[in-house]
Homo-oligomer: A and B are copies of this chain.
């Protein structure tokens, strides 16, 4: 049995989890709550800009865990795919500017594009992004997404697919982000987490919970403990590979977004200690 976490030293929150806080409010809220890590969503840089955001983050003392999200490499035109690579270049620049060592990739999918073609575009897109990432000292993490997003968000839907692709790409700057929401059902989860870790490619670990029933495909994720995912067991598999990075709380929830963000941050801390 994996031991409970007994402090918040590895807790990271994604800015989208506290959606009603802008970046400055989130920084202040996390610092006050004793949350040491933050993953910044790109929309939180709108208006303020990455250089100024980087100053605020460095001053705050928060650890910047990653930037979400790059990817979206799949498009049915050459121009669209080229634009995606350009946009990932900008994401990598933003990550470097805010001190994020990692960009998490939602790899992309498009209803008119067959999945096999989409996967080829994803590989091409990642390979086209890697030299800039390497120059900037930023890593890229393929995040397999739940199969319910295969039509329009990602054609990479199992951890084995993510491992296969990272292995085929074969760069120390390309790895995998494991998110329990996307992967908890995967029959190969334990063995492929082991494979991922042994290859040195387990770059990030995201937590939340799966509600039953789930009322919305996108924005009905649960707080840890409110659903059926064996989060602690999965954390045990991840840590057995030697991973000791942050446990990142990434929750999209129309219901939870209605809470006061400071109150919600308090609930996250409690749930983190009890269920992660």
Contact = CB atoms under 8 A, between A and B. Distances in A.
Contacts of A111: 212, 227-228
A155 to B, nearest CB: 8
Interface in A108-131: 111-112, 114-115
A151 B230 contact: no
A158 interface: yes
B217 A185 contact: no
A229 to B, nearest CB: 9
Interface residues of A, number: 27
Interface hub of A157, A184, A185 (most chain B Cβ within 10 A): A185
Interface hub of A146, A150, A213 (most chain B Cβ within 10 A): A150
Given A146-B148, A214-B148, A230 B114 contact: yes
Interface in A150-195: 150-152, 157-158, 160-161, 184-187
A41 interface: no
A146 B150 CA distance: 11
A210 interface: yes
A151 B111 CA distance: 26
Contacts of A266: none
Contacts of A214: 148, 151, 217
A151 B228 contact: yes
Contacts of A80: none
A34 interface: no
| Chain A at the B interface: SS class | loop
A151 B210 contact: yes
A147 interface: yes
A187 B161 contact: yes
Given A111-B227, A158-B187, A212 B151 contact: yes
A214 B111 CA distance: 12
A185 to B, nearest CB: 4
A163 to B, nearest CB: 12
Given A111-B212, A217-B213, A217-B217, A187 B151 contact: no
Given A148-B148, A151-B210, A151-B228, 8 more contacts: A114-B230, A148-B214, A150-B185, A157-B185, A157-B187, A161-B187, A214-B217, A215-B217
